Structure 1
Amino acid sequence: MTIKNIVCGYKKLIKDHIIQKLHQIEFVNPKVMKALQSLNSLVLASIVGCLFVNITTVKGQNSRPNHIQNCQQYRDRRGRFELTGNDDSVYCLQQNLYQSALTSSPFNVSIVYVEALLQRALSRCSTFNFLFGRNARQRRKRSCSWERKEVRMLSRSEWRRFTNRLNILKRPVRLLGGNSFIPYDIISDIHRSDVNIDAAHGGPSFLGWHRVYLLLLEAAIGMPVPYWDSRLDYDMTEPTDSVLWSDEFFGPGFGVVDSGPFAGWITADNISLVRNIGSRGSLISDAMFNDILQYTNHDPVVEPTQFPIRSIELIHGGPHVWVDGQLSSLQTASQEPVFFLHHGFVDYIWYVFRKQMREVGNINPASDYPNKGPTSHRPQGHMIPFGNLRNIQGYSDFLESLTRYQTSPTCPSCGRSRYLECDQTINRCKSKTRRQFQNSISLADVSSGRRQPENIVSLADVSSGRRQLENMGPIYLGEKFKSPYTDRRTRGDALRFLPLIPRQTLV
């Protein structure tokens, strides 16, 4: 069978399958159906185009630079670049997507690059699994519906892979002609412009918009984003002592992030990542979580609402303010990688809420989109800047089906995580402190080289970070998040800041 026959055969199968899937997703407006059909036609064209590109580039690959030659191994038999167990495939995918966007749309390259990532995210479960029959769909169902875990439930290899891949996104990727780009900066800039921020906050689309944003990052790194359940830190005597704020996880919580997996990150605004944990705001508590679950429909818990202390969006602002630094500002929050783990937990809350809507309220979450808030949040409005997606599609069961969640750890076992312990007085799991974990390292571990004690931030390091903050002048940040709660344990010493220096956003 020739390549041409294969392409034509797949073309018909893909077209039929997309039409079938369109009828399974909740739409109320025929125009929306037509718009998504157009979007999926672009997906189809991209697939066939990748096949054609593969045929032409393989023929002439000996004339390509070495780094292009090395990337050819990550093309599948359809000519599509795939993310594999090798972290280098992340680099090669970004290079290919951006180079293709630059060739096809040089004056709109970042937007086209983001749309290509979005197409990958939305096609993970629905576009390709059908090619090999019903049994294959069942076998691959779990592999395309990725499981997100609480960050302290990851194995060390899973955490290292996640952080390695984020760091690959943060490094310049070379392009033909000698230019380069930084994928993470383009992705983070999606959450920077005023137009995009208005479309993502202050209304019902907040939940769906950020769900799509998480899926887009996952499409870039080829693995699920873990979630940070900040309830596990809220219940500590002093949340700032959590093992999360050590080099084992997020790196230092005070001052410039100069150690840990994100050491030395410089934002797209040319500013070092800075934190000042426990300054103001509040982490999310179990009581806040349960207050949200009192309701069985979206209207009371999405903005604008008469119940600000039960608004998912306002409650989510608490940890943004609590961490301080870039995470505390609407325009810079996504420059901090912790942003995506925090929003993984926000999505987890919504995931649990939707399950309760079905089981207790007998309500379909996909159609329960409140028609309120800013014009940019209207149900049939475009989900800016995510192509032809509509706001109501952010609530769809289809998007929800792309992710499943491992339940957050509970007593008595706390998921057997070495970083958690069961507090029997409240019957809830809570994080171990940096000092507890440091003391748990055995001499045998140290002598064998399996554990390095210098990777754990000491109390002296924390004090050093706090002194660094005292000597730090104002940093450039944008509009701050708001929090309906202030933890009584916070210090009230938020970083001084100035307005962001205006620049052209990438998306």
Structure 2
Amino acid sequence: MAVVGDEATDAYSSETPGLVLLITSSILALVTGSILIRGLHQHTSGRNRKCQQYRGSHGNFEITEKDDSLYCFHQHLYRLALDSSPTHALHAYVQELLWKALSRCEGYGSENGKRERTKTTMKEKCFRKKNGRKKQKGKCKRKRESGIKTSTNIRRCSWERKEVRMMSRTEWKRFVNRLNILKEAIPVQGHGTFVPYDIISDLHRENITIHASHGGPGFLGWHRVYLLLLEAALGVPIPYWDSRMDYDMTNPTDSVLWTSEFFGPGFGIEDSGPFANWITPENESLVRNIGNNGSLVSSDMVETLLRYTQHSLAVEPSINTIEDIHVGPHRWVDGQMSSLETAPQDPIFFLHHSFVDYIWSKLRDKMRKIGKTDPKFDYPCKGPVSHDPYATMIPFGNLPNIYGYSDHLESLTHYRPPPTCPDCGGSPYLLCDKVIQRCKSKPDKLTTHSFDSETTKNIRYRIRAIGIIHLGRKFEYHIIDHRTRGDTLNFLPLINRGISL
């Protein structure tokens, strides 16, 4: 049984006495057979990975700078899960990922969510041998004065999330490469194959989970844990998609994001770009139909949220909540993203929720600045019973909902603010709109969607080619952009794959 690190437990215990954070497998339940078999439908890279090079001195595998280490890490982690719990291997596998996510800042977290220096890492830095000699004390002193950047462990502890258009091409390529590795069918000798990404996306699927993670104050903390779980599986930070910069365009569907350079096609089957030929657990293609309904997030929406001074106004059940405005982009993208059960099957889900988490972090910063409310204690007692402060954060073991508001969780991540005018961070994908004094996305020159153009005809053809897909419940939306078309995709009820809790 994995236990949250002592430092993390102490941090939370000081906030909520008497609770011990144990990550158990009693609640985690995922179907074994269908997930293992579905991996046969996934494409694999065919690369000959030599995994032993990623084994540490204690025999465990770690995710390194090399992408292949990710494949080896998950293969090894699942083997360990089989050894420890043969009949509940998937439970044990997810449990270990959760432990890895929550213990990222073990020994380094602080009560106010800031990063701290450590003597151990500084010692390693200063006394590393080079050419048989120790580094000079003067150089060591100058590095010590440079602060947090000198510590590799601190950088690993609190990971920085960037707006997707502010990432370097190397950073973006690494992120999507690793997503594709998680989407591979990984063989485990004698036990078929498993697909890590599909296991993670299915954590958002069950009815009991959906009720525990939506429609109440637990929404924010639950999805914060979910993001951290995927980061633990990837070994790199999840960027965020600030859809305000697309909303401000004349036609948001023209954004450079909907090209092979970023998210891939916005219309039809994902047959090009970084997620080309992805197949869902329903054995269907990943599809999108952007700009059909709902709304991207606008600056006005965010400004309204940031006027609140306590969580009770910002969370369900209420109006103009963070959860309310977050629904718009789900419906706007359409396809799998538009359904509660299937939304995480599209990687855009995690970039969108990273932005939602960023908005929440800004609200928490404001609450601290005003000084009347401490966000870690400000868990509203409202909504369904499953959102009670000490109800368990299904399916994340015995973690209580109030833990989602803790400073410890917040300390695991920090955000690089989105770029501003006049230079928009120097991004080649953004421009400054001098009228509204905000940065917005540049359009893709090749796919500007003028009425009755050849491009528009091609879009209509691609949408018709999708046919009917299987989806669960659609997100209920209350905000509609007047520029949307109203041509949502046809769908049939989701096939029951036998997943039960």
TM-score range with shorter-chain normalisation?
0.7 to 0.9
Contact 1:26 1:367 in 2 (8 A): no
**Where do residues 398-477 of structure 1 align in structure 2 (5 Å cutoff)?**
398-435=408-445, 460=454, 463-477=457-471
TM-superposed deviation, 1:110: 1.7
- For the residues of structure 2 that align with 1:191 and 1:81, how far apart are their CA atoms? 27
Show the counterpart of 2:183.
170
- For the residues of structure 2 that align with 1:19 and 1:212, how far apart are their CA atoms? 18
Any idea what the Cα deviations from partners look like across 1:186-225, whole Å, max 9, x if unmatched?
0000011111111110111100000000000000110000
**Where do residues 163-242 of structure 1 align in structure 2 (5 Å cutoff)?**
163-177=176-190, 179-242=192-255
Which of these residues, 69, 76, 80, is aligned with residue 89 of structure 1? 69
Contact 2:216 2:387 in 1 (8 A): yes
Show the counterpart of 1:32.
19
Any idea what the Cα deviations from partners look like across 1:70-92, whole Å, max 9, x if unmatched?
21221223333211111001101
- For the residues of structure 1 that align with 2:251 and 2:447, how far apart are their CA atoms? 15
Query: For 1:495, what is the secondary structure of its paired residue?
Result: coil
Show the counterpart of 1:99.
79
The yes-or-no answer on 1:148 pairing with 2:148 is: no
Which of these residues, 281, 285, 305, is aligned with residue 294 of structure 2? 281
Q: Give the aligned residue type for 1:157.
A: T
The yes-or-no answer on 1:358 pairing with 2:368 is: yes
- For the residues of structure 2 that align with 1:424 and 1:106, how far apart are their CA atoms? 61
- For the residues of structure 1 that align with 2:277 and 2:226, how far apart are their CA atoms? 24
Which of these residues, 478, 492, 499, is aligned with residue 498 of structure 1? 492
Tell me how many residue pairs correspond in the alignment: 442
Show the counterpart of 2:383.
373
Query: For 2:86, what is the secondary structure of its paired residue?
Result: coil
Contact 2:392 2:401 in 1 (8 A): yes
Compute the TM-score of the two structures, normalised by the length of structure 1: 0.82
TM-superposed deviation, 1:496: 1.2
The yes-or-no answer on 1:340 pairing with 2:350 is: yes
Query: For 1:429, what is the secondary structure of its paired residue?
Result: strand
TM-superposed deviation, 1:27: 5.2
TM-superposed deviation, 1:474: 2.4
Unaligned runs of 5+ in 1: 1-13, 41-66, 439-458
Deviating more after overlay: 176-185 vs 410-419: 176-185
Query: For 1:468, what is the secondary structure of its paired residue?
Result: helix
Show the counterpart of 1:487.
481
- For the residues of structure 2 that align with 1:350 and 1:341, how far apart are their CA atoms? 14
- For the residues of structure 2 that align with 1:462 and 1:187, how far apart are their CA atoms? 36
- For the residues of structure 2 that align with 1:110 and 1:361, how far apart are their CA atoms? 44
Contact 2:268 2:459 in 1 (8 A): yes
Show the counterpart of 1:243.
256
Show the counterpart of 1:326.
336
Show the counterpart of 2:127.
none
Contact 1:420 1:430 in 2 (8 A): yes
- For the residues of structure 2 that align with 1:229 and 1:27, how far apart are their CA atoms? 34
- For the residues of structure 2 that align with 1:159 and 1:170, how far apart are their CA atoms? 17
The yes-or-no answer on 1:158 pairing with 2:138 is: no
TM-superposed deviation, 1:134: 7.2
TM-superposed deviation, 1:25: 2.1
- For the residues of structure 2 that align with 1:411 and 1:349, how far apart are their CA atoms? 20
Any idea what the Cα deviations from partners look like across 1:113-171, whole Å, max 9, x if unmatched?
11110111111111589997374696232332110000000111111110000000001
TM-superposed deviation, 1:172: 0.3
Which of these residues, 115, 120, 136, is aligned with residue 95 of structure 2? 115
TM-superposed deviation, 1:26: 5.1
- For the residues of structure 2 that align with 1:98 and 1:166, how far apart are their CA atoms? 18
Query: For 2:19, what is the secondary structure of its paired residue?
Result: helix
Query: For 2:64, what is the secondary structure of its paired residue?
Result: coil
Deviating more after overlay: 85-94 vs 107-116: 107-116
Show the counterpart of 1:260.
273
Any idea what the Cα deviations from partners look like across 1:303-348, whole Å, max 9, x if unmatched?
112xx2x210011000000000000000000000100000010000
Any idea what the Cα deviations from partners look like across 1:440-473, whole Å, max 9, x if unmatched?
xxxxxxxxxxxxxxxxxxx856642321213543
Are the structure 2 counterparts of residues 293 and 30 from structure 1 closer, same or farther at C-alpha, using a change threshold of 3 Å? closer
Q: Give the aligned residue type for 1:281.
A: G
Query: For 1:258, what is the secondary structure of its paired residue?
Result: coil
Contact 1:149 1:226 in 2 (8 A): yes
- For the residues of structure 1 that align with 2:358 and 2:373, how far apart are their CA atoms? 19
Are the structure 2 counterparts of residues 206 and 255 from structure 1 closer, same or farther at C-alpha, using a change threshold of 3 Å? same
Contact 2:104 2:157 in 1 (8 A): yes
Show the counterpart of 1:80.
60
Contact 2:5 2:103 in 1 (8 A): no
Contact 2:430 2:439 in 1 (8 A): yes
Aligned-pair Cα RMSD in Å? 2.6
Deviating more after overlay: 464-473 vs 321-330: 464-473
Query: For 2:268, what is the secondary structure of its paired residue?
Result: strand
Greater relative contact order (Cα < 8 A, sep 6+)? 2
- For the residues of structure 2 that align with 1:181 and 1:471, how far apart are their CA atoms? 30
Q: Percent identity between the aligned chains? A: 56
Which of these residues, 267, 282, 285, is aligned with residue 269 of structure 1? 282
TM-superposed deviation, 1:174: 1.0
Any idea what the Cα deviations from partners look like across 1:202-251, whole Å, max 9, x if unmatched?
11110000000000000011000000000000000000000000111001
- For the residues of structure 2 that align with 1:70 and 1:105, how far apart are their CA atoms? 26
- For the residues of structure 2 that align with 1:21 and 1:478, how far apart are their CA atoms? 36
Query: For 1:422, what is the secondary structure of its paired residue?
Result: strand
TM-superposed deviation, 1:178: 5.7
Compute the TM-score of the two structures, normalised by the length of structure 2: 0.83
Which of these residues, 300, 314, 338, is aligned with residue 301 of structure 1? 314
Query: For 1:108, what is the secondary structure of its paired residue?
Result: helix
